[in-house]
Amino acid sequence: MPRYLPILLCLALMATFVSSATAQDVKQYPDILSDTHGYDLSSYLAVAVKKIRQNWFNLIPAEARPPEMKRGSVSIQFSIDRDGQVFSMRLDETTGVTSMDRAAWAGIAASNPFPRLPEDFPASYVRLRIHFYYNPQKSSPPSH
């Protein structure tokens, strides 16, 4: 066996992992549905989305994985109070596949509680809508 073969195999496995990890996606930032009074929540939301994405990836059902690779998108509204607690979750858009919708819902639920809202944030809560995309087509990015 040539000495470079293990390196090529390792690179091939890494490429497979990267391509399968990007087959599912959560929009970079959720839609903010409540009044933030001009407050920039981008840093807070980056942490929240990262936490949701990690939990959701662990829950993605078999229907959305190879070989079936079902496509679809789920949109869920929810609020986060000052203490980082989630309340008032609501399914806005469904894939039509219960297990895929439940995985997205559970990705948010498993992330609860989030970090506290910033101390100087002027509202008592923030209302968000987050979009989950299962196997989006590479040629056309999600429109949300």
Reported confidence tier of residue 137, pLDDT bands at 50, 70, 90? confident
Q: Measuring CA to CA, which residue among 56, 114, 128, 121 is closest to residue 85?
A: 114
> What's the whole-number average pLDDT of the chain?
83
Q: What is the pLDDT of residue 84?
A: 98
Handedness of CA 118, 28, 107, 76 (dihedral sign): positive
Reported confidence tier of residue 141, pLDDT bands at 50, 70, 90? low
Percent of the chain surpassing pLDDT 90: 74
Q: How far is CA 56 from CA 28, 74, 87, 111, in A?
A: 14, 12, 18, 9
Render pLDDT for 78-131 as a digit per residue (tens, 0 to 9). Answer: 999 999 999 999 999 999 999 999 999 999 999 999 999 999 999 999 999 999
User: What is the mean predicted confidence (pLDDT) over 48-75?
Assistant: 95
pTM recorded for the entire structure: 0.78
| Interatomic CA distance for residues 26 and 28, integer angstroms | 6
Q: What is the pLDDT of residue 29?
A: 78
